[in-house]
């Protein structure tokens, strides 16, 4: 597949609409193409932003068409930026992101079908009904759909399953289901189990980790400075004041199998069993040997797997 073919297919891949054969072709291309891999990670981050928008509950057909259009617009914009490589390329990209979020404010991403089922639960958890804008209690056997946000309360642990894929959420953990096989961890920690044939993607708001095995996820706070220049033809560059910001980044502790750490700026690194993968503030992936045991008694309370 060419880069153009892959970028046209990335939105379908993110939404889980591709059949197995074309999806495999896209994944094969992503392994060898840094720019397309960066675009795939960017689409994941866009979905993560869209899921936070205020819902209005449009029809399924309108919602589906709008989401697809927004992802394609994102891809088209990114492809232009990658081709032109302007010194201030982040400015039009930011404008495109604002456009996507404004449109998303009138849309609801819910309705993509059940992504997981609640197999076990101890204690109380709640799920956000984005159609009504209210929270509901989570019960055993409940379906968790694309667009849902699930939060466990103190003393609660939840096991979500989808075929051979499992997510074990610890107490006070918050996740968003942004696509059939893509979730965002906002707070707390969880264990993700996924077979090599059906890779699961776990993201924060900047980075993505592809799971093929058993991995414990948590978040750590990173700090960095953001700056840049505004350039306009015929005028001197304007250097705005540097801003120091903090953000949360994924920590992936691999017990079995391996993970692929997809950072920003086309950076990719793999971590295998007995290693820990993290990201710097700038999105650079890093690995190191594990120094303390994986999976405490919090996982054993719901059992190892099902």
How is residue 299 written in tokens?
Answer: 């996982």
DSSP 230: B
Q: CA–CA separation, 138 vs 124, rounded Å?
A: 7
Radius of gyration of the chain from its Cα atoms, rounded to whole angstroms: 19
The CA angle 268-270-275, to the nearest 5 degrees, is 135
In this prediction, residue 258 carries a pLDDT of 94
In this prediction, residue 83 carries a pLDDT of 41
Tens digit of pLDDT per residue, the chain (306 long)? 787 778 778 877 776 667 777 777 888 887 777 677 777 777 766 665 554 444 444 444 444 445 555 555 555 444 444 344 333 333 344 444 444 444 444 344 444 457 899 999 999 999 987 767 789 999 999 999 888 999 999 999 999 999 999 999 999 999 999 888 899 999 999 999 999 988 899 998 788 999 999 999 999 998 876 666 667 778 877 777 777 778 889 999 999 999 999 877 667 899 999 999 999 988 889 999 987 765 555 566 555 544
Containing H/E element for 211?
strand 208-226
Q: CA–CA separation, 167 vs 192, rounded Å?
A: 5
**pTM for the whole thing?**
0.62
In this prediction, residue 84 carries a pLDDT of 41
User: In sequence order, what E strands does 111-207 have?
Assistant: 114-122, 125-129, 134-137, 143-145, 149-152, 157-162, 165-169, 174-179, 182-187, 190-194, 200-203
How is residue 288 written in tokens?
Answer: 């190191």
CA distance to 100, 110, 129, 134, 167, per residue, from 51 (Å)? 11, 9, 12, 15, 19
In this prediction, residue 119 carries a pLDDT of 95
In this prediction, residue 29 carries a pLDDT of 83
Yes or no: say if 258 and 273 are a contact pair by the CB < 8 Å rule: yes
Q: Where are the domains of the chain?
A: 3-104, 114-300
Is the domain 114-300 a CATH 3.40.50.620 member? no
In this prediction, residue 166 carries a pLDDT of 95
A 10 A CB-CB count for 235 gives 8
How is residue 241 written in tokens?
Answer: 């004041």
Q: CA–CA separation, 49 vs 103, rounded Å?
A: 12
Yes or no: say if 3 and 34 are a contact pair by the CB < 8 Å rule: no
Q: CA–CA separation, 162 vs 166, rounded Å?
A: 6
């Amino acid at each position: 597949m060419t880069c153009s073919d892959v970028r046209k297919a990335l939105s379908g891949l993110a939404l889980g609409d591709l059949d197995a054969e074309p999806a495999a072709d896209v994944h094969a291309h992503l392994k060898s193409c840094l720019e397309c891999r960066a675009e795939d990670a960017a689409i994941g981050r866009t979905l993560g932003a869209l899921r936070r928008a205020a819902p209005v509950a449009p029809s399924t057909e309108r919602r589906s068409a709008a989401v697809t259009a927004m992802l394609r617009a994102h891809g088209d914009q990114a492809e232009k930026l990658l081709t032109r490589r302007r010194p201030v390329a982040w400015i039009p990209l930011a404008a495109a992101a604002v456009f996507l979020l404004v449109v998303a404010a009138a849309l609801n991403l819910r309705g993509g079908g059940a992504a997981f089922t609640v197999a076990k639960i101890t204690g109380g958890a709640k799920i956000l009904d984005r159609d009504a804008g209210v929270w509901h209690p989570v019960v055993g056997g409940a379906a968790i759909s694309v667009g849902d946000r699930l939060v466990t309360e103190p003393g609660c642990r939840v096991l979500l399953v989808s075929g051979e894929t499992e997510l074990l959420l610890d107490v006070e953990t918050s996740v968003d289901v942004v696509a059939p096989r893509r979730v965002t961890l906002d707070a707390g920690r969880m264990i993700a189990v996924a077979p090599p044939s059906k890779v699961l993607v776990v993201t924060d708001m900047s980075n993505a980790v592809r799971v093929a095995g058993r991995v414990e996820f948590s978040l750590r706070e990173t700090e960095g400075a953001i700056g840049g220049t505004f350039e306009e033809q015929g005028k001197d560059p304007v250097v705005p004041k540097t801003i120091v910001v903090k953000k949360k980044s994924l920590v992936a502790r691999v017990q079995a199998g391996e993970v692929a750490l997809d950072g920003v700026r086309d950076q990719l690194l793999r971590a295998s069993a007995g290693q820990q993968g993290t990201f710097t503030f700038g999105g650079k992936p890093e690995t190191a040997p594990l120094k303390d045991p994986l999976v405490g008694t919090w996982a054993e309370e719901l059992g190892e797997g099902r």
